[in-house]
Amino acid sequence: MEELAKRCLKHYQSLNANKQQQIKEGMHDYSLITSMLKPSNEVTLHSRFLCSMLNPKGPHYQGNVFLKLFLKELPAGLRSFIDPDRATIIREKDSIDILVHDGEHALVIENKVYATDQRYQISRYIGCVQRKLFGGEPDVSKRMAVIYLSAKRTHPSKKSESLAGFALIGNILRWKGFAGCKPHPDLPDIQDDLNVEIPFHHVPYFPSLVRWAENCAEKAPAGGIRNAFDEYLLVLKRLEKPKAWRKVMTLDSYAMSLPEMDQREMYAFMVESQTALDRFIAARLFEGLKALFGEVALFERGPFKTLDEDSLYNWLTKKGKDKDWERVGAIFDAPIQPVALVFASEFAYMGAMCERPLWDKECRDANLIHGGGVRSLLRTQLDGVYRFLHYIRKRAVQCGIQVASLESEL
């Protein structure tokens, strides 16, 4: 195992050198949009961006260029369905994500990333367009089409009854009516004997929406508009491959770039490291606490379980029956009254001992050691255990406890 560790350490050092060179050359993984919104936010992010860029009268001042490029991504039979010179774009009208119409025809775009389909959703949209754009015209077969723009699904779930009143046959919504009264007032008013058929097509985010954004970026003038499409392409990349979008290389992507035998070695090392990590954290945390408070002080446990390396490991891994790994702690002398440090269920607390436990709702915020969920900090942050020891030292000083300096602070 020692030789394997040495070889893998060389790989890790090579990865770090590679990362530093990439960063030095200006490579980054920052995205302005995803710093504020999740890549899967279909309403605030995707629908609004699409609507703003498809709108010929939008503040991009590029006319219908981006709309024309979007229409090219539709099936051949729908590419000329909308006249781009007369088109108007409406977002969230009657809850329709994006509505494109030219006075004669309407394109209902239902945008789905991961959200579930709402009950009667698309049928309600058809009913609203039928009444409000086409004056209740009974046969809207040649008047409208539905685009199901989605990252994953190709059509609404049956459970949602999104297509109520219609049967989806191939790429056609064929009217079949309701058994009895229509179950929602917004649903279409269509006679059962009319052979109404409305085109329905799935347009996938990948590759269609990506291709549209790429083509728009090429057509857009240099500067803000092109940058907006470049940013949106970053969003789509993160949405398509949540774990593989980074440019600056991570350990897993670096390992995948190695030859097969080196990959196997790295895999074996990472499995071994995963097992060893919790043991190391417990040992390093205990050593740090001994350095701060002295080993003897840690054994003054009061009402808590003894604080030592094994109990810290059990707490970290939640090892034991009936949560007997909880509430590991120690009590320290302080000028006014004794102060306790305790590892509770998810968080760590430090504060003056009183009748209430440190994690009681009346005082837990004041006693909470900075860092939030301790296990996540210790296991996922590169400097987690060292940062956590710094937080404990800072809190101890606030409580009036005499503590030593940490080696990292010297």
pLDDT tens string 260-316: 877 777 777 777 777 788 999 999 999 999 999 999 999 898 899 999 999 999 999
- Report the number of distinct structural domains present in the chain: 3
Contacts for 61-67: CB closer than 8 Å, 24+ residues apart: 62/219, 62/220, 62/221, 62/225, 65/216, 65/219, 66/216, 66/219, 67/100
- For residues 68 and 213, membership in a common domain is answered with yes
Picking from 262, 264, 208, 279, the residue whose alpha carbon sits closest to that of residue 240 is: 208
Percentage of residues of the chain with pLDDT beyond 70: 83
- pTM for the model stands at 0.56
pLDDT of residue 42: 45
Other CB atoms within a 10 A radius of the CB of residue 399 amount to: 21
pLDDT digits (tens, 9 = 90+) for 317-341: 999 887 889 999 999 999 989 999 9
pLDDT digits over 14-47, tens only?
656 655 665 455 544 444 334 444 444 444 567 8
165's tokens: 């009143």
| Mean per-residue pLDDT, 180-208 | 92
Looking at the fold, whether 231 and 339 belong to one and the same domain comes out as: no
Has residue 258 got a pLDDT over 90?
no
Long-range pairs, 73-81, Cβ under 8 A, ≥24: 73/203, 73/208, 73/209, 73/211, 73/212, 74/147, 74/201, 74/203, 75/171, 75/201, 77/199, 78/107, 78/145, 78/147, 78/199, 78/201, 81/105, 81/107, 81/145
Residue 34 lies in a domain: no
In this structure, the answer to whether residues 251 and 235 fall within a common structural domain is no
User: Are 209 and 71 in a shared domain?
Assistant: yes
Evaluate the CA torsion angle 292, 293, 296, 297 in order and state its sign.
Answer: negative
Query: Could you say which of 258, 284, 312 is where a domain stops?
Result: 258
| pLDDT at residue 175, as a whole number | 96
**297 and 220 in one domain?**
no
β-pairing verdict for 348-352 and 197-204: unpaired
The residue type of 54 is L
Alpha-carbon dihedral of residues 142, 144, 145, 149, nearest 10 degrees? Answer: 170
Q: 3-state DSSP helix/strand/coil percent for the chain, to nearest 5? A: 45, 15, 40
Report how far apart, in Å, the C-alpha atoms of 173 and of each of 109, 163, 215, 329 are: 15, 8, 31, 66
Residue 263 lies in a domain: no
Q: What is the DSSP letter of 379?
A: H
Q: Is residue 95 part of a domain?
A: yes
Alpha-helix runs per DSSP H in 241-344: 251-256, 260-293, 295-298, 309-317
Q: What's residue 18's pLDDT?
A: 59
Give, as one character, the DSSP assignment of residue 78.
Answer: G
Task: Check whether residue 230 and residue 250 sit in a common domain.
Answer: no
The boundaries of the domain holding residue 404 are 275-409
DSSP string, 105-120: -EEEEEEESSPPPPTT
Same domain? For 162 and 253 the reply is: no
* pLDDT of 215 higher than 90: yes
Cα(32)–Cα(91) distance, rounded to whole angstroms?
23
Q: Would you say residue 269 lies in a domain?
A: no
Tokens of 100: 């494109």
Tell whether 23 and 76 lie within a shared domain.
no
Instruction: Please report whether residue 37 resides in a domain.
Output: no
Residue keyed to tokens 């001992």: 353
Residues 306, 294: Cα–Cα separation, whole Å: 15
What is the end-to-end Cα distance of the chain in Å, rounded?
Answer: 34
Same domain, 49 and 173: yes
Shared domain check, 349 and 229: no
| Long-range contacts of residues 206-209, Cβ cutoff 8 Å, at least 24 apart | 206/151, 206/236, 206/240, 208/73, 209/73, 209/149, 209/236
